Amino acid sequence: MTIPIETAARPDAASEGRFDVVVVGAGHAGCEAAVACARLGLHTALLTVNLDDTAKMSCNPAIGGIAKGHMVREIDALGGIMGIVTDRAAIQFKMLNRGRGPAVWSPRAQCDKPLYSREMLALLAGVPGLERIAGVANHVRLERGRVAGIELADGRFLACRAAVITPGTFLDGLIHIGSEKIAGGRIGEHAALALSECLSELGLERGRLKTGTPPRIHRDSIDTAAMAPQRGDDPPQPFSHWTERLELDQVLCWLTRTSERTHEVIRRNIHHSPLYSGEIKGAGPRYCPSIEDKVVKFPERTTHQVFVEPEGRDVPEIYVNGLSTSLPADVQREFVRTIPGLERAELIRPGYAVEYDFVLPHQLQATFEVKQVPGLFLAGQICGTSGYEEAAAQGLIAGINAALQVRGDPQFVLRRDQAYVGVLVDDLVTREHREPYRMFTSAAEHRLLLRADNADERLCEIGHAIGLVSAGQIERVRAKYAAIVAEERRLARISVVVPEGERPMRAIELLARPEGTIAGLAARGVASEIPPAWSDCIEVRVRYRGYIERQQRTAEKSASMDHVLLSVSLWEDELVGVSREAREKLRRWRPATVGQASRIAGVSPSDVAVLMVHARRGRANEAPASVEG
Amino acid sequence: MTDTIAAIATASGRAGLAVLRVSGPEALSVAGHVFRGRPPLSEAASHTVHHGWAHATTDARCLDEVVAAVFRAPRSYTGEDVVELSCHGGRLSAERLLAALVTSGARLAGPGEFTQRAFLNGRIDLAQAEAVADVIHAETEAAHELALAQLAGALSRRLDALGDRMTDALAEVEARVDFAEDVGGVEVPPHVVDLIESVRGELNAMLASAAWGRAIRDGVRVPLVGRPNVGKSSLFNALIGEERAIVTELPGTTRDRVTESIELCGARVTLSDTAGLRESADRVESIGVARAWDTLEESRALLWVIDGTAPIDADDHEIARAFAGKRVLVALNKSDLGCVLAPRDLEPLLVDARWSAAVSVSAVRGDGLAELRAALAQLIEAAPADGAGAQRSIALANPRHADALRRGAEGLARATAAAAAGSPGEIVALELRESLAAIGEVTGRAVDADVLDRIFGRFCIGK
């Protein structure tokens, strides 16, 4: 089977393609979804408008960060690709929050944007069963109520048994720069209008969100001497569990600050901002405010931080992190030039805000399949999230589930106590969303269990069972944790050297103290028998054992509710005993488990108790049917 | 809740009036079938009262003269349409009316079903729903006031306010955990520790009222125990103010347990006179003695009656062995005959008791009875140790509430301790979340911490 790659050369070619899964969009969600499907043995198409626009980093040039870095480690442990590509494209590594508690140590890597795309393209090219197709998706064709294929703008049709749609900010995207409005999802690229219309025809309820990006400044126009250099970690720690060694010359970033003069320019021009003139209707992310928002909402602040970050080794663009704005380009230039080090700054591209449609995610299952359209999966910003990492996590889960469904295997859902990825999915399908969803560590009630250091312990076995983590990889992880457990036992047996007159002490007791470290043990005569890279892991396990065990107990309790299934037929029932508000919410969300139901706002603990009764009764009624089946 | 329910709302028995309550989507039409008056109930405005006659729906016989009060949803007790029909008292009138309502399409309400509907419709929360039962079952004025305050939402409001402050503390900590680059500084600053401690102080103050609240709500059983012939029955009669128990000078007169209730500081105290504790050859008496021992073992609070004119003997030591963990009030009786025992002589026997006091009395002359009553009030914790009158309206009468708040306070104590030990913010946050969840158990509200809203409202977040 051959698929025409160059649409421009044969615009009227109506060739048929037949696939198991078609993934629409080759951003961070689409790439994960396509690779997962292909690696699970399915014939997969990855459709994108322009083949070079793959895994583009539309906004900041970094992967990871607090809670996001955790998710990248999890994606990697499940057999996803973001961590590997990041390690290949990164130009600076940093473990954030190192001075805080272990649950919130978060890796982040500054990346070379064009290199990230190239590395992703190289990886995709090496995945058997994955075909990359250039084209514009126009329509999802249904047959007998389920997905039958994707119709392209040029008339081609890609038949498939499941589709994963990942259009990012392109659904009815509208870019704002001052009062100027341009249809598009990313500057210089068209919006996906037909696809947007198609989703409306499918009856999907939608909302409108907004996000923004700062101006890009020319590297040669900044004065680095006037700013504080920001270095990476030495040695750098790789993102991926499978990256053996990192060898790179890390770049510098810089820190500078806005001043009262900056704020004065912004205040004087605030009426030109579409955010304040009422032009923008979509809700923006509060955690990522524009500079005009920060100036207006926190007038008492005389300065705000600006991180000056190169977008790559050999590109002129400098990203000014902290200056996201939709003010007119000339105003942007004026206020940027009030900032130390940026006095002579030349703008390569102005910052802008973009409004786009998203599908209210209560219409999705925890597999990212649209409840009312079997075979149609959505992932990424279309589900109301922001961030490369959130998108990749959804792409992986949607891709795995699309593949499992085509193969006829049971679906795959992570629990909240297993991964941030599980928290992300659950939050999306059980909460109301008023702003783009971003992961925070505070979203995870089992935060001490979900550390960046133990993502492999939590998830590699699962990735292996799915088929995305190889036998060789899982053996490495098993050997690592066997060694760690053996080392803990050894430390519990042997004693450290104590000063004259002090009571004898086991090595593990010393390690459990706040100041205890593996290095500290060596100074007391107990040399470690595990590689230094695992020190963090063992220190945290020993020091926080009591808390970790407590969280494991509460996790087990809540997990038990996630295993109680609610039948879809229940929502047609009267739901006797459930409060009025909860009944309305439950009928809208149609949760799949009692656990999901319990997290919907408006469903009280007593409603949950009643649902448990209904669930039990439902099981009793269904039992004979399943015997027959 | 698609059906309409009806029940007689007043107690059975002779009375001037009886009230029937109808609630549900068809309440107006169901009651309207039975009620004949102007205007028809289906046209009556909410919160109005109408005079009319009730008729049987089957044969149009007149049943009674009635007054109908109309409450339209959602401004009614249950949050649904409600009609309350007042008819003449006595069993028959109300029952025939109820039968007519059922014929018209109402279903007989189950126990507590009106309150359940109020709860399910969001009219009252869990603590208030529980208070309804307490209001109905209150036997003393203080118990009634306590339950009414809870019904009015005093407890829920107080806990909501505390929960709000705890969420503030959590937001402060989480802001520093998740947004270190924006907020910075120590993860649990002193003002947050102060906030946690002030909430913990209030929770503890509420917990201090728990024993009092329980005494007021449930009443307390206090058996009078002791050797034979020390004057238990005389003292029992003196305390209740009538000659209920048979008193003779013969040891072993009391065989069966005699009980009577009195009210002390707003609490109902059920006193019971028990058989004197001794070995007996008499079969009837020995059964009484065995029961007295059982009563002694089961009770949390006791009144130990001692003959103050005689020295302590082996039987007293035997009895005192059962006092471990109990609250024991000692009455040194027969003070009119000249006591040889002083309270301090008893101290060695009371070391294992959880609380103890001793009072000299004369059951026959009435000397010291006032002091004994005051001591009894302390025995049953009906008198708050701190005398905090303001606390009374929201005393924790319900053991479920007390348990939840205790866990909440313990979590806050651990949070403060973790902060003092320099533990990371996520540990302090973990404790705060557990405390919040415990508080939420009382009002039945899920703790939707809404932490992010507070963080974004308070701190400038984001690059």
Nearest chain B Cα to A431, which residue? B448
> Is A65 or B388 the better-scoring residue by pLDDT?
A65
Going by C-beta distance under 8 Å and a sequence separation of 6 or more, which residues neighbour residue A617?
none
- pLDDT of B446 strictly over 90: no
Token look-up 């008198």 returns B383
The pLDDT tens digits for A115-137 are 999 999 999 999 999 999 999 99
Query: Please, what is the angle between helix A329-336 and helix A260-268, to 10°?
Result: 160
The pLDDT tens digits for B299-333 are 888 999 999 888 888 888 888 888 888 899 999 99
Asked if A289 is an interface residue toward chain B (Cβ–Cβ < 8 A), one would say: yes
| Torsional sign, CA A188, A189, A190, A192 | negative
Contacts of B460 in chain A (CB under 8 A): 289, 294, 297-298, 301, 304
Asked if B183 is an interface residue toward chain A (Cβ–Cβ < 8 A), one would say: no
Asked if B112 is an interface residue toward chain A (Cβ–Cβ < 8 A), one would say: no
A586 near A600, Cβ under 8 Å? yes
Nearest chain B Cα to A289, which residue? B462
Helices (H), A310-454: 329-336, 388-407, 420-430
Q: CA of B160 to nearest chain A CA: how many angstroms apart?
A: 15
How far apart, in whole angstroms, are the C-alpha atoms of residue A591 and residue A566? 7
- Amino acid occupying residue A481: Y
- Amino acid occupying residue A301: R
Q: CA of A47 to nearest chain B CA: how many angstroms apart?
A: 33
pLDDT mean over A78-96: 97
How far apart, in whole angstroms, are the C-alpha atoms of residue B7 and residue B77? 14
How far apart, in whole angstroms, are the C-alpha atoms of residue A336 and residue B170? 36
Asked if B39 is an interface residue toward chain A (Cβ–Cβ < 8 A), one would say: no
Name the pairing type of β-strands B35-37 and A206-213: unpaired
Asked if B427 is an interface residue toward chain A (Cβ–Cβ < 8 A), one would say: yes
Mean of all residue pLDDT scores within chain B: 84
ipTM score of complex:
0.85
- pLDDT of B350 strictly over 60: yes
Contacts of B433 in chain A (CB under 8 A): 445
Closest C-alpha among B221, B216, B249, B173 to residue B383: B216
- pLDDT category at B125 given cuts 50, 70, 90 is confident
Percent of chain A topping pLDDT 70 = 95
> Is A533 or A15 the better-scoring residue by pLDDT?
A533
- pLDDT category at A70 given cuts 50, 70, 90 is very high
The pLDDT tens digits for A566-605 are 988 888 877 877 888 888 999 999 999 999 998 998 887 7
Question: Three-state SS for A8?
Answer: coil
Asked if A21 is an interface residue toward chain B (Cβ–Cβ < 8 A), one would say: no
- pLDDT category at B462 given cuts 50, 70, 90 is low
Question: Three-state SS for A166?
Answer: coil
- In 3-state terms, chain A is what percent helix, strand and coil (to 5)? 40, 20, 40
What integer pLDDT is reported at residue A258 of this predicted model? 96
> Is A514 or A27 the better-scoring residue by pLDDT?
A27
B376 near B238, Cβ under 8 Å? no
What integer pLDDT is reported at residue B393 of this predicted model? 55
- Amino acid occupying residue A78: L
Q: Which of B117, B182, B426 to mutate to test the interface with A (most CBs of A within 10 A)?
A: B426
Question: Three-state SS for A61?
Answer: coil
How far apart, in whole angstroms, are the C-alpha atoms of residue A409 and residue A282? 39
What integer pLDDT is reported at residue A83 of this predicted model? 98
The pLDDT tens digits for B367-412 are 888 899 888 888 887 665 544 443 455 667 777 788 889 999 999 9
Contacts of B422 in chain A (CB under 8 A): 514
Asked if A444 is an interface residue toward chain B (Cβ–Cβ < 8 A), one would say: no
Nearest chain B Cα to A103, which residue? B426
CA atoms within 13 A on the CB side of A514: 11
**Listed range (A345-354, B18-27, B162-171, B399-408) with the worst mean pLDDT:** B399-408
What integer pLDDT is reported at residue A377 of this predicted model? 98
Residues β-bridged to residue A211: A354
Query: In terms of C-beta density within 10 A (0-12 exposed, 13-18 middle, 19 or more buried), how is residue A243 classed?
Result: middle
Closest C-alpha among A602, A561, A591, B429 to residue B437: B429
DSSP one-letter code for A171: B
How far apart, in whole angstroms, are the C-alpha atoms of residue A456 and residue A72? 11
How far apart, in whole angstroms, are the C-alpha atoms of residue B322 and residue B379? 17
Contact A598 B446 (CB under 8 A): yes
Query: If DSSP states are collapsed to H, E and C, what string results for chain B?
Result: CCCCEEEECCCCCCCCEEEEEEECCCHHHHHHHHEEECCCHHHCCCCEEEEEEEECCCCCCEEEEEEEEEECCCCCCCCCCEEEEEEECCHHHHHHHHHHHHHCCCEECCCCHHHHHHHHCCCCCHHHHHHHHHHHHCCCHHHHHHHHHHHCCHHHHHHHHHHHHHHHHHHHHHHHHHCCCCCCCCCCCHHHHHHHHHHHHHHHHHHHCHHHHHHHHHCEEEEEECCCCCCHHHHHHHHHCCCCCCCCCCCCCCCCCEEEEEEECCEEEEEEECCCCCCCCCHHHHHHHHHHHHHHHHCCEEEEEEECCCCCCHHHHHHHHHHCCCEEEEEEECHHHCCCCCHHHHHHHHCCCCEEEEEECCCCCCCCHHHHHHHHHHHCCCCCCCCCCHHHHHCCCCHHHHHHHHHHHHHHHHHHHHHHCCCCHHHHHHHHHHHHHHHHHHHCCCCCCCHHHHHHHHCCCCC
CA atoms within 13 A on the CB side of B433: 22
- pLDDT of A211 strictly over 70: yes
CA B178 to chain centre: 43
Q: Which of A104, A304, A581 sits opposite B426 (nearest CB)?
A: A104
DSSP A211-239: EEEPPEEEGGG--GGGSEEE---SSPPPS
What are the CA-CA distances from residue B102 to residues B33, B82, B107, B116, B355 (Å)?
A: 11, 15, 6, 20, 56
What integer pLDDT is reported at residue B253 of this predicted model? 76
Peptide bond into B39 cis (omega under 30): yes
Residue A583, both tokens: 């009944």
Peptide bond into A235 cis (omega under 30): yes
pLDDT mean over B436-453: 73
Query: Please, what is the angle between helix A388-407 and helix A68-77, to 10°?
Result: 30
Contacts of B426 in chain A (CB under 8 A): 100-101, 103-104, 441, 447-448
Count of positions (residues) in chain B? 463
Contact B444 A604 (CB under 8 A): yes
Residue B236, both tokens: 């029992």
Contacts of B421 in chain A (CB under 8 A): 514
CA atoms within 13 A on the CB side of B169: 32
Closest C-alpha among A33, A97, A153, A58 to residue A388: A58
| CB–CB contacts below 8 A, A to B | 112
- pLDDT of A6 strictly over 70: no
What integer pLDDT is reported at residue B447 of this predicted model? 58
How far apart, in whole angstroms, are the C-alpha atoms of residue B235 and residue B260? 13
pLDDT mean over A158-172: 94
Contact A440 B427 (CB under 8 A): no
Asked if B172 is an interface residue toward chain A (Cβ–Cβ < 8 A), one would say: no
Q: Which of A102, A298, A550 sits opposite B460 (nearest CB)?
A: A298
Residue A179, both tokens: 């009062």
Count of positions (residues) in chain A? 629
Going by C-beta distance under 8 Å and a sequence separation of 6 or more, which residues neighbour residue B293?
B277, B322
Query: In terms of C-beta density within 10 A (0-12 exposed, 13-18 middle, 19 or more buried), how is residue A577 classed?
Result: middle
Q: Which of A427, A558, A604, A610 to mutate to test the interface with B (most CBs of B within 10 A)?
A: A604
B307 near B337, Cβ under 8 Å? no
What is the reported pTM? 0.81
Helices (H), A443-589: 455-466, 471-493, 507-512, 518-523, 535-543, 545-562, 580-589
Contact B427 A544 (CB under 8 A): yes
Mean of all residue pLDDT scores within chain A: 90
B272 near B240, Cβ under 8 Å? no
Going by C-beta distance under 8 Å and a sequence separation of 6 or more, which residues neighbour residue A485?
none
Contacts of A103 in chain B (CB under 8 A): 424, 426
Asked if A102 is an interface residue toward chain B (Cβ–Cβ < 8 A), one would say: yes
Asked if A302 is an interface residue toward chain B (Cβ–Cβ < 8 A), one would say: no
The pLDDT tens digits for A363-397 are 999 999 999 999 999 999 999 999 999 999 999 99
Q: CA of B183 to nearest chain A CA: how many angstroms apart?
A: 12
How far apart, in whole angstroms, are the C-alpha atoms of residue B304 and residue B356? 10
